[in-house]
Amino acid sequence: MRQRDFNLDTTTRDAVLQISARGRLILVHPMANRGTAFTLAEREELGLSGLLPSRVTTIEEQLRRIYAQYSRSPSPLAKFIQLTRLRDRNEVLFYRLLSEHIEEMLPIIYTPTIGEAIERFSHEYTGARGVFLSIDHPELMEKSLTDFEMDADDVDLIVVTDSEGILGIGDQGIGGIQIAIGKLGVYTAAAGIHPRRVIPVVLDVGTDNLGLLNSDLYLGERHARVRGERYDEFIDLFVTTVTRLFPNAMLHWEDFGAGNAHRILNRYSDSICTFNDDIQGTAAVVLAAVLAAVRLTGMPLPEHRVLVYGAGTAGVGVADLIREAMDRSGLPAQDAYARFWAFNSRGLIVEDSRGVRDFQVPYARRRADVEGWAVADPDRISLLEAVKLVQPTILIGTSAQHGAFTEDVVRAMAEHCERPIIMPLSNPTSRSEAQPADLLEWTDGRVLIATGSPFGTIRHGEVYHTIAQANNALIFPGLGLGVAVVQAERVTPEMIYAAADALAGLQNEYRPGASLLPAMSDLRLVAATVAKAVAETAQDQGLARRPMTNPINDIYQHMWKPEYPRLEILPAGAPD
């Protein structure tokens, strides 16, 4: 953080904050302000005498007060707004509060509450710490990014969205900046990425949301979403500009529409350090749960039959990574593809099916594969029909179709599989393909489960089953930390696999009913473990621009801890 009146070295865990500002300017700077925690001597020297209540408090006392205020907030959105305002006035206190209550507050600062905050962005606007880039003013792109006041070596992460595929609510226009801010908040709380080493960005390319376009309060560009060549040129200008300005940063794509997400990732993944959480992050956390479950079944991964219900951006990303894991186990690529059956809204995807997207084509079954199947309509093969005929051992739901995994479907699967692996991953709960309690009931407790939404612990018979939540927060913070520690040149499939394998290795295999994945309360441990695996893999591949000398210490020293830094008070108006 380098500004005229404040200077903080964000590359080290124990940096000193230099301040030459005086008076109220300090109290409106989120990283410098510590409110009533300023000592009396500091107040006098910094020109804060009389600007704060008399009593000096500790950060622990501040935490108790703000947590009580948070707890009294009447709704999730009110809690979100309160946390946002806290971050804007005292960043250290915000992240300390978040890190100590991460499991409770993650659904507030991230999914599902952030969906409502995004929808209400223009109506509730009180400011946003991010960069807004308009397709109508590409000439302002470089100035907009440099006006954020970050130097080339000061940025580890850039999270960018064009807001077309926000969570389960679709096109949200300029409001998508909130998902970029929320994602970076998780990077900091879980992995210790310094909050002053990140940039949230929204690409305002218009919106097809008629509700937003017809709202007098909407703050984005008022026209339909731009597509085609002009859109691609804008994306290319953005990539070229940010990689030149911030050459060590990882570019994280978030909530792009299905028609662009795979295409953009494929275009740039071999040339820059880039990552798509909806594709690769979702896939990695699901693969981790699959690897943990497969160990419990005793059946080698290449022998499993995988049915993906909802082969969109996330579903195909999951299939790709599981297939690559099969390849690593020695199964030839073509044989690995043959272990998958993928569904879209029209049923089982077959090579001559209508509406098949380019990225789904590799998973389309040959027409010869389904000839002779006893089905009602060969052009629209249902989930139940496929389960009976394929006899899958792994059933993955990314369809957002509530209740799609019916009792008939689950019992048909369990009839031919001793330990069925079933993952209803759609969220929120209202979109989940099945309820864990039902899955346990319909399989006599034999099922191995991971879900997209949190479900906690469920008793079935004498066993308490802790339901794993396949939350991307178990993967992307550690991945970003590992990349930042070694300044990796690219994010490779090997690094994604290493992240998933490290996460799977944290599973407790010995207690009946144990979760397939760690609890969200262990995010700091998880992030550090994943980061080490990612950084070591990057180094092994020759992609580390800053090789590690002591991996454990290098990871630890890079994880910022939200504590008030020691102050060095410079003469008023002193230059950097």
CATH of the domain at 375: 3.40.50.720
Specify the pLDDT at position 454.
85
Confirm whether 64 is domain-assigned.
no
Cis status, amide bond into 112, omega within 30 of 0: yes
The residue written with tokens 């939200």 in the block is 562
What's the mean pLDDT in 86-99?
Answer: 96
Residues designated catalytic: 110, 183
Residues 286 and 415 in one domain: yes
Highest mean pLDDT among 108-112, 257-261, 278-282, 538-542: 538-542
Higher pLDDT, 169 or 487: 487
Residues 442 and 518 in one domain: no
Structural domain containing residue 292: 280-473
Residues 425 and 335 in one domain: yes
pLDDT in tens, 106-155: 989 988 888 889 999 999 888 888 999 999 999 999 999 999 999 999 99
Residues 379 and 503 in one domain: no
What's the mean pLDDT in 2-10?
Answer: 78
Confirm whether 516 is domain-assigned.
yes
Q: What percent of the chain has pLDDT over 90?
A: 85
- pLDDT, the chain, mean: 94
Strands of the sheet with 306-309, listed across from one edge? 347-348, 340-344, 306-309, 394-397, 421-424, 448-451, 468-469
Specify the pLDDT at position 507.
85
pLDDT higher than threshold 70 for residue 2: no
Confirm whether 272 is domain-assigned.
no
| Confidence band for 576, pLDDT divided at 50, 70 and 90 | low
pLDDT higher than threshold 80 for residue 428: no
Residues 462 and 509 in one domain: no
Residues 237 and 179 in one domain: yes
Residues 121 and 229 in one domain: yes
Specify the pLDDT at position 1.
41
CB atoms < 10 A from the CB of 454, how many? 17
Specify the pLDDT at position 3.
53
What's the mean pLDDT in 54-75?
Answer: 97
Specify the pLDDT at position 147.
95
Residues 51 and 186 in one domain: no
What's the mean pLDDT in 466-479?
Answer: 95
Residues 42 and 117 in one domain: no
Per the CB < 8 A criterion, the answer to whether 556 and 529 are in contact is: no
Residues 321 and 442 in one domain: yes
Specify the pLDDT at position 259.
85
Confirm whether 65 is domain-assigned.
no
Q: What percent of the chain has pLDDT over 70?
A: 98
pLDDT higher than threshold 90 for residue 157: yes
Higher pLDDT, 453 or 543: 543
Confirm whether 63 is domain-assigned.
no
Residue 291: closest CA among 433, 394, 390, 363: 394
Confirm whether 454 is domain-assigned.
yes
Report the alpha-carbon distance of residue 469 to residue 454 in Å, rounded. 6
Confirm whether 270 is domain-assigned.
no
Report the alpha-carbon distance of residue 13 to residue 312 in Å, rounded. 40
Q: How many domains does the chain have?
A: 4
What's the mean pLDDT in 408-433?
Answer: 93
What's the mean pLDDT in 251-256?
Answer: 96
The CATH number of the domain holding residue 205 is 3.40.50.10380
What's the mean pLDDT in 400-406?
Answer: 95
- Residues contacting residue 415 through CB under 8 Å, at least 6 positions apart: none
Residues 362 and 458 in one domain: yes
Report the alpha-carbon distance of residue 152 to residue 415 in Å, rounded. 58
Confirm whether 434 is domain-assigned.
yes
Residues 326 and 454 in one domain: yes
Per the CB < 8 A criterion, the answer to whether 306 and 274 are in contact is: no
The residue written with tokens 């099916």 in the block is 353
